[in-house]
């Protein structure tokens, strides 16, 4: 492309900008050296040719253009500016005066751990771990309390960080955490080997998709420790470049990554929100909301501005809220005001990161919602907003609700709200749990005769003995016999449930667990081993029936177990149950194929 250097480029620039038709001061034909009778097509051609040539010839001939040499731009605020309180201004990193890293006072760190945003809680946990490394403080009361808090914490959102901190603790809990981590390492190694086989072309079976839900949740909980190969494989599935993953397994994997913080996932997740639609974008944006990386906010904001699908917009608004950008608040508010059943759960979830005390009145009515999932989510949202005005509503609900999961969520919420009030310097409210809620119903006195009790114990004992010898069938016969002799005794039923669960006969374990729950729910809920086996049985059975295409039955099973107080079940099982419940629920409302 050559051009006549005598041509006045400024005039041509004006033609280019304003158009040749509206030119009043110069004649484009003359300026471009065209004939007087040249038509517009010829003039256009000449104009673009000259400008393109001159433009190209100038590249690299002058000093750096000031616009090109400017620093990108100031990044968005990372905290919600609307809350001027201590917690509202508490930064998780950086040089700000008020950062979690600078807090030395253990009670304050513990309060942030209960009441803060996900980022603040994560930072508080890190800070707590730092403080616990100081051996001089190990035998103080404050540290003992901190260790107790860490052991009691059942926050699935902080699963990875919690496991790391627990592994550093002294004593039995530390040993248990280290043992669990070793199990994870073995699992990760076997998955890595399978991934290698998959990409070598020796197997067409994608290994992560086929894993049982709780195992997959466990594997992905520690994603920052996974080798690059495994993370790359996950990225390939997320982007749809593994050669076979259907849409539903991509959505399933994304929802399993819900609380992942690994920045190696960011490019693939951004690629999804740039190029996909609907459930994929919503799931990917929920993951991105929790990742601290400079690439995340611009991508979320850009997608939010051009998205018109409500499901996407609410998820994006929530994710932006986690990055301190509240541009989607009005839309989430209007979703709650309209009360559309399809979007209620997502809107309440988004409100966790967007809401402030101004939104308490909007959220609290949903605590009485007929749908338990929505009511529990409203409780969680109220806990994250942390407004003291919600205390009365929550206490009242606690007294009237008979759903164990609801009561457990309210207990956590009350604790979070009081911690937040404490951090705000408000009058600390001490909740007397002996006065709150229904008292446990007094156990009915045994109506069994003495011979029935003795024979029942004999059968139960024999059942345990057979179990020791590995004779499952004989043991179950004995347990059945014990249960038949004493109708209000849960122990033999639990024995049956546990035996079937160990033998992976989940369909047979469920009736036994159900009968045991009917007789003595609290015994199961308060025993970590029992609650783990029971929750896993429900989860695995739900996966089995789902594979058979009976999604409604799977939904029923997951919904049933989620009404129980599962706080003592492993975080990965709770996470997977909630994930599956969300996915099956969406499938039920949107008529999308299973994404679990």
Partner 1 sequence: MSTPLRDAAVRRLRTLGKHTGEGAIRRLTMDVEVDGRVEMVTLSMRDDRLQCVSSDAQNDGPHVLAALEFIAGIELREDSAPPGAVDSAGGLSGEADAWGELAEALEDLVTAVARVGVAKAQYAPSVDAALERVIAVAPRPTPAGLGRFIGRLQRDIRLGEARRAARMLEGASQLVETLRASTPTSDSQQRLSAWLGARAASISSAQLLYDRTMIEVGREWMTGTERASVERRYIVDIESGHIYREDRPRQALASLGPCPRQLQVGLAEVETGASPARIRILQYEVQPEVPTENWKRLHEVASRSFAEVSDGYRRSVDAHPSLSEPFALIAPYRIERNGVFKAFDADGHQLVLNRSERRGAVLAFYDLLAQGAEPSWLAGRLTDQGTTLCLTPFALGTRDGTYMRL
CB of 264 to partner 1, least distance (A): 8
**Burial grade of 256 (CB within 10 A; 0-12, 13-18, 19 or more):** buried
Cβ-based nearer residue to partner 1, 40 or 105 = 40
Nearest partner of 596 among 213, 286, 236, 272, judged by Cα? 213
Cβ-based nearer residue to partner 1, 75 or 487 = 75
Q: How far apart are CA 237 and CA 228, in angstroms?
A: 14
Residue 45: how many other CB atoms lie within 10 Å: 14
How far from the centroid of its chain's Cα atoms is residue 438's Cα? 32
Residues forming beta bridges with residue 91, ordered by sequence position? 99
Contact positions vs partner 1 (CB under 8 A): 1, 13, 15-22, 40-41, 43-45, 47-49, 51-53, 55-62, 64-65, 67-73, 75, 195, 199, 201, 228-229, 232-233, 235-236, 239, 241-243, 267-268, 270-271, 274-275, 293-299, 306
CB of 585 to partner 1, least distance (A): 29
CB of 279 to partner 1, least distance (A): 17
Cβ-based nearer residue to partner 1, 274 or 426 = 274
Exposure string of 533-556, with b = 16+ CB inside 10 Å and e = fewer, is: bbbbbbbbbbbbbbeeeebeebbe
Residue 345 Cα distances to 264, 363, 374, 411, 589, angstroms: 29, 11, 6, 20, 12
Cβ-based nearer residue to partner 1, 293 or 411 = 293
Are residues 555 and 584 in contact, defined by beta-carbon separation less than 8 angstroms?
yes
Cβ-based nearer residue to partner 1, 77 or 339 = 77
CB of 392 to partner 1, least distance (A): 44
Cβ-based nearer residue to partner 1, 230 or 348 = 230
CB of 272 to partner 1, least distance (A): 10
Residue 495 Cα distances to 464, 489, 498, 534, angstroms: 8, 11, 5, 11
Cβ-based nearer residue to partner 1, 81 or 229 = 229
CB of 463 to partner 1, least distance (A): 51
Are residues 289 and 281 in contact, defined by beta-carbon separation less than 8 angstroms?
no
Residues forming beta bridges with residue 99, ordered by sequence position? 91
Q: How far apart are CA 563 and CA 146, in angstroms?
A: 30
Q: Quick one: CA torsion of 198, 199, 201, 203, rounded to 10 degrees?
A: 0
Residue 4: how many other CB atoms lie within 10 Å: 10
Q: How far apart are CA 525 and CA 566, in angstroms?
A: 7
Cβ-based nearer residue to partner 1, 5 or 61 = 61
Cβ-based nearer residue to partner 1, 152 or 228 = 228
Q: SS3 for 116?
A: coil
Residue-wise DSSP of 22-37: T--SS-HHHHHT--TT
Cβ-based nearer residue to partner 1, 46 or 222 = 46
CB of 440 to partner 1, least distance (A): 53
Residue 551 Cα distances to 22, 283, 453, 585, 594, angstroms: 65, 20, 42, 10, 8
Exposure string of 92-124, with b = 16+ CB inside 10 Å and e = fewer, is: beeeeeebbeebeebebbbbbbbbbbbbbbbbb
CB of 68 to partner 1, least distance (A): 4
Residue 202: how many other CB atoms lie within 10 Å: 9
Q: Quick one: CA torsion of 533, 566, 573, 220, rounded to 10 degrees?
A: -150
Exposure string of 294-308, with b = 16+ CB inside 10 Å and e = fewer, is: eebbebbbebbeebe
Cβ-based nearer residue to partner 1, 59 or 468 = 59
Residue 550: which H helix or E strand, with range? none
CB of 549 to partner 1, least distance (A): 22
Cβ-based nearer residue to partner 1, 270 or 496 = 270
Exposure string of 493-514, with b = 16+ CB inside 10 Å and e = fewer, is: bbbbbbbbbeeeebebbbebbe
Cβ-based nearer residue to partner 1, 227 or 341 = 227
Cβ-based nearer residue to partner 1, 3 or 479 = 3
CB of 513 to partner 1, least distance (A): 42
């Amino acid at each position: 492309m050559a051009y006549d250097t005598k041509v006045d480029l400024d005039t041509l620039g004006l033609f280019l900008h304003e158009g040749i038709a509206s030119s009043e001061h110069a004649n484009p034909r003359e300026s471009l050296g065209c004939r007087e009778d040249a038509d517009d097509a010829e003039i256009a051609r000449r104009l673009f040719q000259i400008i393109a040539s001159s433009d190209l010839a100038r590249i690299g001939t002058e000093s750096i253009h000031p616009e090109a040499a400017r620093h990108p731009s100031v990044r968005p605020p990372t905290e919600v500016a609307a809350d001027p309180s201590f917690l509202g201004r508490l930064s998780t990193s950086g040089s700000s005066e008020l950062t979690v890293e600078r807090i030395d006072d253990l009670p304050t760190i513990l309060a942030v751990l209960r009441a803060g945003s996900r980022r603040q809680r994560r930072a508080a946990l890190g800070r707590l771990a730092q403080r616990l490394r100081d051996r001089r403080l190990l035998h103080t009361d404050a540290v003992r309390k901190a260790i107790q808090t860490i052991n009691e914490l059942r926050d699935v959102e902080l699963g990875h960080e919690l496991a790391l901190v627990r592994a550093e603790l002294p004593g039995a809990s530390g040993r248990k955490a280290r043992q669990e981590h070793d199990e994870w390492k073995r699992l990760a190694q076997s998955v890595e080997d399978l991934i290698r086989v998959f990409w070598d072309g020796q197997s067409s079976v994608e290994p992560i998709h086929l894993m049982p839900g709780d195992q997959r949740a466990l594997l992905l909980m520690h994603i920052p420790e996974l080798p690059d190969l495994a993370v790359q494989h996950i990225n390939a599935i997320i982007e749809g470049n593994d050669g076979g993953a259907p849409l539903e397994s991509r959505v399933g994997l994304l929802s399993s990554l819900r609380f992942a913080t690994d920045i190696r996932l960011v490019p693939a997740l951004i690629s999804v929100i740039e190029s996909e639609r609907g459930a994929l974008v919503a799931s990917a944006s929920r993951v991105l909301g929790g990742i601290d990386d400079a690439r995340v906010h611009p991508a979320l904001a850009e997608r939010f501005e051009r998205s018109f699908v409500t499901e996407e917009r609410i998820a994006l608004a929530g994710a932006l809220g986690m990055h301190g950008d509240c541009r989607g608040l009005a839309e989430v508010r209007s979703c709650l005001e309209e009360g559309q059943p399809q979007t209620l759960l997502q809107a309440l979830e988004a409100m966790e990161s967007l809401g402030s005390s101004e939104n308490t009145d909007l959220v609290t009515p949903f605590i009485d919602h007929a749908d338990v999932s929505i009511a529990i989510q409203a409780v969680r949202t109220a806990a994250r907003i942390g407004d003291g005005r919600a205390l009365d509503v929550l206490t009242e609900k606690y007294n009237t609700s008979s759903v164990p999961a609801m009561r457990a969520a309210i207990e956590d919420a009350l604790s979070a709200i009081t911690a937040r009030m404490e951090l705000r310097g408000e009058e600390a409210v001490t909740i007397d749990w002996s006065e709150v809620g229904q008292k446990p119903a007094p156990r009915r006195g045994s109506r069994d005769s003495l011979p029935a009790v003795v024979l029942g114990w004999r059968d139960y004992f024999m059942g345990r003995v057979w179990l020791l010898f590995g004779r499952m069938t004989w043991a179950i016969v004995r347990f059945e016999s014990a249960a038949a002799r004493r109708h209000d005794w849960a122990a033999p039923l639990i024995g049956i449930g546990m035996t079937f669960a160990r033998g992976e006969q989940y369909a047979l374990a469920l009736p036994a667990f159900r009968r045991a729950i009917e007789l003595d729910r609290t015994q199961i809920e308060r025993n970590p081993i029992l609650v783990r086996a029971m929750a896993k049985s429900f989860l695995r059975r739900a996966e089995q029936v789902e594979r058979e295409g009976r999604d409604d039955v799977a939904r029923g099973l997951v919904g049933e177990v989620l009404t129980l107080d599962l706080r003592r079940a492993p975080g990965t099982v709770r996470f997977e149950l909630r994930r599956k419940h969300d996915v099956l629920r969406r499938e039920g409302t949107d008529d999308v194929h299973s994404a679990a």
